[in-house]
Chains A and B, each alone.
Chain A
Amino acid sequence: MSYLEVKDLKVHFPIKGGIFGRTVDHIKAVDGVSISLEKGKTYGLVGESGSGKSTTGRAIIGLNNITSGKVIFDGTDITNIKRTKSEATKNIQMIFQDPYSSLNPKKRVVDIISEPLRNFENLTRKEERKRVQELLELVGLSPESILKYPHEFSGGQRQRIGIARAIALKPKLIIADEPVSALDVSVQAQVLNFMKEIQKELDLTYLFISHDLGVIKHMCDDIGIMYKGRYVEEGTAEDIFLNPQHIYTKRLVAAIPDIDPNKREAKRKFREEVKTEYDQSYNDYFDEEGLAYKLQPVSETHLVALPEKG
């Protein structure tokens, strides 16, 4: 049994229409996603905007209502849990994309970080302050900064405050939704390094959601590629990057800019080839509605969405 098990998760949003605002249809934001995540590992969820990757993350933690499917964390069913004082809430935390808008600008750092502590633990003011200072030290900020406001920090520092808040309750699983997308490269490096460090230190498990394949490759052990609410491919980082099977994955991998200018022409040519292949074989990989098929195993670790044989 894996640590986090998501089974056939569906999140459908109603579309209101007509004169009386009845539900006329559904947007299938997430349409049958299964993830199994081992303890201490990092699982990367990749997709373009609108693929449903963020909705998946938010549904797991209970921020989006689950239409059907199951989420099992460490042996307990946490499907549609209430985000109030349950044990699961404490153990699963989230880091958000934008360090500028996800921190309340009117609150001091000490209040931001201690907010989850206040919800779950009865600490005295003094203990609380001590914990916050320890956390700040852990994320590499000076303990004196507890009385400052978010705007007094740089982007990278703010994201560290967000991380400090996320790890305040010693969670076991962190869902990181595009945690470095709003940051400059050097700051991004800072945050990624730090996330790796605390993973080892606190034995954390990550669900890492991103559209940046370079970052995903750097961080993740296993990767799932989403397209229009469904999985198109899942496998280890090696499976995905060195041996992509689905045409969508191939196209995604081909689109990553190469940092070596010498390979530019070859890369461009390769992209064109993949594009041609994509156009030619589109119908082999997607059904009539342009959605991906069910996943079929091609090796022990590697699953690809292909039409059923026969």
Chain B
Amino acid sequence: MWKFSVRRTLIMIPQLIVLSILIFVLGQLMPGDALSGQVGPDVDPARLDEIREQMGWNDPWHEQYARWMGGVLQGDLGESFRFKMPVTELIGQRIVNSFWLSVATLILTYIIAIPLGITSGRFNDTWRDQLITGYSYVGFATPLFIFALVMLWLFGFTLGWFPTSGSVTPGLEPGTFEYVMSKLYHLLLPAISMALITTYSTIQYLRNEIVDTKQKDFIITARAKGASETRVYNRHILRNSLLPIAAFLGFEITGLIGGSIFIENIFGYPGMGQLLVESISLRDYTVLTAVTLLFGIASILGALLSDIILSIVDPRIRIK
């Protein structure tokens, strides 16, 4: 097992290097830089060029990359031009927000997906299954950003049940109970909106696993032992179908990253996704490359997590 994990982790290193180069080069290719927006009648273009030269922005890309990478490895992601503060600090607050949003979304995804997937798989090709499959098709077909806007309009503005922006009510003392509840309250609507849409893949995956497991020979064996239908489902079918779902977790993380970019912007939730879009529009590309890199790392770690979970839960893989 550990051999597998070590090998799998080692494979990640070249993946990360390629990813970082790609992100850096793409950042460089973007038109303009942090100073382009400052061009105005009262600014001397020659002065801007001077600053560029000073900052080393005219050096060949690989030199700039090496400088950047050197910083990254020491935990220094550079300085934001617009916020005039270290990127690490800027990200620090937001990464926590995004993390809790993701956790809440994941939990809600499973709360919705597991009962629906089980019902759909157990009673496949009945009206229940068709209803649930119908829902997951709608989830599949509805664009997340439109759905999120509708949710925000309905529950946030029209009904006023949920706050419409921010991650916490201003003025509360961090660490108090009110503060935590306020945090939770703020992330609930974005998390529900995202979970309702992204859960379709987990429902369908679970449904297909169950339909598949139902037809296995060992299910007949279980019935021949005298196990009741409920026990056959709980002990044999569910257990064997939920394991692959556990492994699916890692891939959900990748999906969450994409979703959070929309969600955080629509709900004005100060997380990494919002920061990403902001940094693009402001040409704040030290922030941009840093955020993209972190997203990339999260995806790769998600895939790693999937493989490791699968190798832990499945004895057939565990042995090797």
Contacts and interface: CB of A to CB of B under 8 A. Distances in A.
B29 interface: no
Main secondary structure of the interface of A (DSSP, over half): loop
A261 interface: no
A22 to B, nearest CB: 11
7 contacts: A18-B3, A19-B3, A19-B6, A19-B7, A19-B10, A20-B7, A21-B7
Contacts of A19: 3, 6-7, 10
Contacts of A20: 7
Contacts of A18: 3
Interface in A1-37: 18-21
A120 B251 CA distance: 49
B13 to A, nearest CB: 13
Interface of B: 3, 6-7, 10
Nearest to B2: A19
Nearest to A17: B3
A20 B6 CA distance: 10
Contacts, number: 7
Task: Give the one of A19, A20, A21 with max B CB within 10 A.
Answer: A19
Nearest to B320: A17
A97 B7 CA distance: 38
A45 B10 CA distance: 46
A273 to B, nearest CB: 36
B5 to A, nearest CB: 10
Nearest to B9: A19
A236 B7 CA distance: 52
Contacts of A21: 7
A18 B3 CA distance: 7
Nearest to B7: A19
A45 to B, nearest CB: 31
Contacts of B3: 18-19
Interface in A283-302: none
Contacts of B6: 19
Nearest to B4: A19
Nearest to A20: B7
A100 B79 CA distance: 66
A21 B3 CA distance: 10
Contacts of B10: 19
Contacts of B7: 19-21
Q: Which 4 A-B pairs have CB atoms at the shortest separation, nearest pair first?
A: A19-B7, A19-B6, A19-B3, A19-B10
A20 B10 CA distance: 9
A19 B320 CA distance: 12
A268 B136 CA distance: 61
A3 to B, nearest CB: 43
Nearest to A19: B7
Nearest to B8: A19
B260 to A, nearest CB: 35
A18 B10 CA distance: 13
A271 B10 CA distance: 55
B3 to A, nearest CB: 6
B312 to A, nearest CB: 18
A19 B10 CA distance: 9
Interface in A66-120: none
B314 to A, nearest CB: 19
Nearest to B6: A19
Interface in A43-68: none
Nearest to A21: B7
A18 B7 CA distance: 9
A19 B13 CA distance: 14
